[in-house]
Amino acid sequence: QPICDRLLLRLLEQNHLPVSATALERMRKILQTGGKLDVAKRAWYFVAEGDSAALIYQPPEGILPLPVSWPVGEESLIFPFGAQKKVKLTLCNKIVAKQFEKFNISLLKNSVDCDKIIGNSVLRTRRPGDCIHTGKTGQKPRPLGEA
For residue 56, give the nearest of 100, 91, 17, 11 by alpha carbon. 11
Q: Mark whether 103 and 143 lie in a shared domain.
A: no
Least confident interval from 10-19, 23-32, 43-52, 65-74 = 43-52
Considering the domain architecture, whether residues 91 and 34 belong to the same structural domain is answered as: yes
Asked if residue 62 and residue 93 are part of one domain, the reply reads yes
Residues 102 and 118 grouped into a single domain: no
Q: Domain range holding 127?
A: 111-147
Confidence class for position 51, pLDDT limits 50, 70, 90: very low
Amino acid at the residue 84? Q
Identify which has the larger pLDDT, 50 or 87: 87
Average pLDDT over residues 45-56: 44
Number of domains in the chain: 2
pLDDT tens track for 4-14 = 777 777 776 76
More confident residue, 54 or 48: 54
Q: What pLDDT is recorded for position 48?
A: 39
Which pLDDT value is given to residue 37? Answer: 37
Domain check: are 74 and 131 in the same one? no
The answer to whether residue 86 scores a pLDDT higher than 70 is no
10 plus 70 within the same structural domain: yes
- Per-residue pLDDT, 38: 38
